Structure 1
Amino acid sequence: MSLTDKAIEHIRELILSGQLPPGSRLPSEPGLAAQLGISRNLMREAVKSLVMARVLEIRRGAGTYVTSLEPGVLLEGLGSAVELLQGDTLLEMIEARRLFEPVATGLAATRISADALEVVAGHLAAMRAAHDDVELLNRHDAAFHRAVVAATGNETLASLMDGIAGRTVRARVWRGMIDGNAAQGTLNEHQAIYDALAAGDAALAQATALMHVNTTETWLRRHLADVAAAVPDVLDDRGDDAEPLADEDPVLS
């Protein structure tokens, strides 16, 4: 373990032990550095790493503080990491979503309030009104599922699901569905999820969500396979010295 890693671990231990509770101010950088017997530069690197991890936050003119440590804060960076997944690891993320989202939707059916159901209905209506506007469809699609999971009242689950939903992947799927004239079927799947929530039927809500996520996974697997098959042919036609094509990446849009 490097000295910087030891400094990170020390600060984490102070937080876990309750000596630095959420919202508390970190001791001075020189003091912490002297306590650990390391340079201020190494301590600064440790603090910077914990800021990136959303464990600490720097308030200009006030010092460094422990964040709220709530799930929405600590898991905030998960979505950005998911957006960079490619190929098989991207499919693993979709599999993870298939494991979590149906169960979360079933749980939401048993807990959703009338107000929360109205929010879900609003996003469903907005999706239907958007027709072939991929950006708008994507925005309300994400909000639809976020509202469903939020209805569970489980903030950790909501933050986790928001992170693994994959904004870029969702946008590509909508574009593919529209181009393939399959968008209406996907909208109908959202309607089925809403109907199950409105009925308070947990088993049906879980089943409809599973069908919906499976549609996404099936499309993505087919899409990645088509791209993988097409790229060698493109490279053969262009020659070995040609510049790479932006569209050769199966994930970036």
Structure 2
Amino acid sequence: MPLGPLRPSPLVEQATDHLREQITGGTWPVGTRLPSETALAASLGIGRSTVREALRALAGAGLVRARQGAGVFVIASEPEEDWATRLRRAAVTDVYEVRIGIEVEAARLAARRRTGDDIAALGAALAGRRAASDADDAAFVDADIALHAAVVAAAHNPVLSALFTEFVPTLRRGLIDMLELLDLRADDPDHGDHDHASLVDAVARGDGDAASSTLREELERTLARLASV
């Protein structure tokens, strides 16, 4: 694919995509030294600073590497998958196993660190989950995840919160599929209410052992159901 001038839109993104196509399409195989920044800028009709940013993006994707005094070389023909992409491709059961480890510890920390505002947020989230019992499966799952997110937030650990947030899209799809395929809410629209009420109560009381064990049992039951879907 020949190089050519680019349209004046997000130039860095365009340049990155154009150069990536040369690599993934085989025009520049692994081991190839790329043209100089000046040559690339002239071919693409952009400035050298834009080329430089595009090359940084390609390096971040694991496609190229600069060698001091030698230039920029192709080191891979396919970009590395980032964490979010890997999670999207992962089986929901694999993600759920990791979720158990994260949330069980978060529940224990939440019971120790919860504030008055956290307790109020947990109560509101539990009420929201109950209110969603009349809603469709997607809305119910969203309300359920919001309650779990409130527990994680009460742990006041930004790393745990960030990890949980990364898992949410995969978890959401898996839980909706589970509810629809197993029809778990047909006779129990507020499926799992007792477990979640017990969790909120344990966190509010500051009982870390009860909070973590209650959540572990609930999540492990759900994992078993997901594995059967």
- Structures share a fold, TM > 0.5? yes
Go from structure 1 to structure 2 and tell me whether the alpha carbon gap of 1:198 and 1:132 turns closer, same or farther (over 3 Å shift). same
What amino acid sits opposite 1:160 in the alignment? L
1:210 corresponds to: 216
Q: Distance in 1 between matches of 2:90 and 2:147?
A: 23
Q: Is the 8 A contact 2:114 2:155 kept in 1?
A: yes
Q: Is the 8 A contact 1:83 1:167 kept in 2?
A: no
Go from structure 1 to structure 2 and tell me whether the alpha carbon gap of 1:38 and 1:106 turns closer, same or farther (over 3 Å shift). farther
1:241 corresponds to: none
2:172 corresponds to: 167
Shift of 1:149: 0.8
Q: Distance in 2 between matches of 1:162 and 1:194?
A: 20
SS in 2 for 1:190: helix
Q: Distance in 2 between matches of 1:139 and 1:192?
A: 19
Q: Distance in 1 between matches of 2:84 and 2:134?
A: 25
Q: Distance in 1 between matches of 2:125 and 2:228?
A: 28
Root mean square deviation of aligned Cα: 2.9
Structure 1, unaligned stretches of length 5 or more?
Answer: 1-36, 54-76, 224-253
Q: Distance in 2 between matches of 1:50 and 1:148?
A: 38
Structure 2 residue 109 is the aligned partner of structure 1 residue 107: yes
Structure 2 residue 154 is the aligned partner of structure 1 residue 151: yes
What amino acid sits opposite 2:87 in the alignment? V
Structure 1 residues 220-251: Cα deviation after superposition (integer angstroms, max 9, x where no partner)? 0111xxxxxxxxxxxxxxxxxxxxxxxxxxxx
TM-score (norm 2): 0.61
Structure 2, unaligned stretches of length 5 or more?
Answer: 1-33, 41-50, 63-81
Q: Is the 8 A contact 1:189 1:212 kept in 2?
A: yes
Q: Is the 8 A contact 2:185 2:191 kept in 1?
A: no
Larger radius of gyration between Structure 1 and Structure 2 = 2
What amino acid sits opposite 2:202 in the alignment? A
What amino acid sits opposite 1:156 in the alignment? V
Q: Is the 8 A contact 1:108 1:149 kept in 2?
A: yes
Go from structure 1 to structure 2 and tell me whether the alpha carbon gap of 1:102 and 1:183 turns closer, same or farther (over 3 Å shift). farther
SS in 2 for 1:131: helix
Go from structure 1 to structure 2 and tell me whether the alpha carbon gap of 1:219 and 1:46 turns closer, same or farther (over 3 Å shift). farther
Shift of 1:154: 0.8
Aligned residues: 162
